Structure 1
Amino acid sequence: MKRRKKASRGQKTTIALLAAAGILLAGSAVGSTRAALSYYSDNYTANLAVSEIGVALVENGKETSDALLADMVGKDEKVIPGREYKEELTVKNTGEIDQYVRVSIAKSWMKDGQKVTSLSPDLILLDLIGNGWIEDKGASTKERTVLYYSRPLAGGETAPIFADTIKIDGAVASKASKETVKSENGYTTVTTTYRYDGVTFNLEAHVDAVQTHNAQDAIKSAWGVNVNVSSDGTLSL
């Protein structure tokens, strides 16, 4: 943000800029302020245990092998902090046999191709809705959430969605890290640098599956976690 003040007359003119690569900021302290925050995601990955096992991530009703969030906004639209966007995520058994599935969702901020660890992933709000999915709290962190579907999926079956919307917390527009003051030609310029300038947000999904035969041992071997499997096949941690 820049404020110019004529030293001799005491008049003020405020120019507000938030240069974060691609979001329209609405309802900020200066009503005319516009800025941008782009979004980014790597392709999701899938690990397959045996040839009969297959698993696919389903985003907004479609199996995807491309980047997440590709259709989050229109071609010329900007992401608006605080606004919810549809992001329905689940997993489909694309294999031939029953299987248990796991998904790991990672949220992060990126700048110049590098992860920005000083910025909180908590400001990336993916709404998780349960729906038969259980969280492995021992494996989850602020950046990563690990979920298991609580019952086996038959071949060709799709689990209920575990997330339905995503949004960027409006607080992203108020995070400033430093100010610099410069006087030149009778004007004083105050420049505010925001911690989120030039960053993008990143959502990644990693999905994998385990056979139901000897499920407890198979899950322990593949995922390193102890689970209980009831007589009807329901999984619990």
Structure 2
Amino acid sequence: MRGDPVASMATGRISRSAQTVDRLGGPAPTPSSEPISIQEKKTRIMLKHRQIRASLMAITGSMFLAGLALAQSDDAVPASDTTVSYGDWSQHCMLVQIQKEGDAEPGKPQRICEVTQTLNAQQKDGQTQRLLTIAVGKLPATDNYRAVVQTPANVDLRTGVTMSLGDSSIDEPTKGDAVTAMPKPNDISLTYVTCGQFCTADIALSDAQLMELKKTDSAAVTFKMMNGKALKVPLSMKGFKAALTAAPPVN
């Protein structure tokens, strides 16, 4: 990874975007390096005229299609992507058909949506580095919403990722040690599930956690680097509830 995210955090040069990573020009992980297995039931998603990579999809398509068997079919519905910004969040939707294992035909076309936010850190040399991407959404075949967070690759996998609700402060690393914080009752802990060009952590959100996410007006995401220093990244919740609950546009 280019530059030091910790140094960038200390200078406070963080840019925020509700757009997906491909809109930012960020690098896309390869299918072999960025799969996320969030599948609870085996499904098959078929899109006409293109094959979406079975990976994290670099958040250029959807974090929540990752790990599924994806294929092309002349009989499937055309791909229909929409991206709408709500404050500091973006609602990204895809029109798909889902074919469950054992079914002869795919089901009716339906939209899969997620809401995302990306934060970038500006390095001393002027280069921009992606610091954090978060997405919340679910597949139609599942009951729970999931939160998925992408961090830089050089992180301590043992500590996971913590999302603190009602907290927008930044703790700078202390000399020779990491930022430490006492867990709070409404903290959401995500477990790393894969690492490649980026590391990815996720969690199945409970109804109570999802409700708290909708209600809070500020949050912070904390993860520890391999050098022992922790990053506490303020996360804007402006537009989150609107993006999550808005009806997707029809095109």
TM-score by length of 2: 0.26
**Could you say which structure has the larger radius of gyration?**
1
Q: Which has the higher contact order (CA 8 A, sep 6+)?
A: 1
TM-score by length of 1: 0.27
Q: Identify the structure with the greater helix proportion.
A: 2
Q: Identify the structure with the greater strand proportion.
A: 1
